Structure 1
Amino acid sequence: MNDHLMRKPPARRLGQQAFVLREDPDGEGELHVLLVDPVYRDGYTLPGGSAEADELPHLAARRHLESETGLTLPLRTILTVDYVPRDNYPEGLNLVYAGGVATPRQAKAVSAHRPPQNIRALHWIPRHLLDTVMPPDQALRVHDAWDAWEHGAGRPLLLQGIPVPVR
């Protein structure tokens, strides 16, 4: 192995986000996606955050999802990967995991959950309103994840070539 290649590894963020849907509470048949309203940025985003050192990516997504929304879901299938060039933040990759469709009981638990201080509120938003409540790059990421979910186009996260177990 060439040790000199990793003496100064590149700084890169690895974001983990969860894509969770619920059926329309008004019974109109339209699905809604779960979004958070973070205090540190304008507009809504998917629940999630960065992985810690030596933390498996899907478990980081699950940890953030549980902390921010109260949901504990098995996350393994990646719906989309979004490369973000360096701008206000270091360059990064954001992995969006399929969380499935929440049951009415799970959706009720989200409504009762008190998110951490860095999250103002939790919202279930229909697809046609994404562009009005999210920054453009975030909305495009969610639209892409939604398309992948609808078409079954997700891929499992691999750990050294082996699909990670769903926990």
Structure 2
Amino acid sequence: MFNSLRPRPRSHHQALVLNEAKQVLLIEAGTRRSVLTLPGGAAGRREPPHLAARRHLEASTGLVRALHCLLIVDFVGARPFQFVHWGGQLDPDQAAEVARRSSLHWVDEDSLPEVVAPDDLRRISHALAFLAWQAMLPALVHGMRP
């Protein structure tokens, strides 16, 4: 009964990270090892969006990245807003280090439909398109770049 009184998360934050081959870094989605997703999760109460994305990226990959730009914001019903932050392109040494973790995968854009959920595929595709156009929105906190 009391669970229904808990506030639902207002936003979900993911990070798009690429390697030099332009492959997308994906993580295993919970217990469903056949489904992959971008690293991310819900923001804490009053947690700035870029810090939520950074926290989840570090927790799932070990990467500590400055996430100062947004690629897309998607409104969905269950979690009202899905944000995809630009996590940058890793150099070969960083990418090799990340690849050592068994729950992380580098995936070519052409292979994404086989391993991600349809909603994630749409978000990742749009994020990659905006990245190619260099169309990023700066993430601000109180009107300043973090």
Specify if TM > 0.5: yes
SS in structure 2 of the partner of residue 124 of structure 1: strand
In structure 1, the partner of 2:15 is 18
Equivalent positions of 1:139-154 (< 5 A) are 139-154=121-136
Match for residue 89 of structure 2 among 98, 101, 116? 101
Which residue matches 1:33? 24
TM-score by length of 2: 0.87
Per-residue CA distance 1:36-82 (angstroms, 9 max, x = gap): 11225561110000111121110111111011011111101000011
The two structures have a TM-score, normalised by structure 1, of 0.77
> Which ranges in structure 2 are unaligned for 5 or more consecutive residues?
1-6
What is the CA–CA distance in structure 1 between the aligned matches of 2:144 and 2:116, rounded to whole Å? 32
Give deviations 1:102-149, integer Å, cap 9, x for gaps.
1111112212347xxxxxx11100101111111111000000000011
> In structure 1, what residue type is equivalent to 2:125?
H
Matches within 5 A, 1:2-81: 11-24=8-21, 31-41=22-32, 43-81=35-73
Counterpart of 2:23 in 1: which secondary structure?
strand
Inter-partner Cα distance in structure 2 for 1:97 and 1:13: 16
SS in 2 for 1:19: strand
Give, in whole Å, the separation in 2 of the partners of 1:133 and 1:15: 20
Q: Choose the corresponding residue for 1:84, options 70, 76, 79.
A: 76
Q: For residues 155 and 163 of structure 1, do their structure 2 counterparts lie closer, same or farther at Cα, with a shift above 3 Å needed?
A: farther
| Separation of aligned partners in 1, 2:134 and 2:69 | 10
- Provide the C-alpha distance between the structure 2 equivalents of 1:19 and 1:39, rounded to a whole number of angstroms: 18
Kindly name which structure, 1 or 2, has the bigger radius of gyration based on alpha carbons: 1
RMSD, aligned CA? 1.8
- 2:3 maps to what in 1? none
**Structure 1 unaligned runs (5+)?**
1-9, 25-30, 115-120
Structure 2 CA distance for partners of 1:111 and 1:84, relative to 1, 3 Å: same
State the aligned residue count: 140
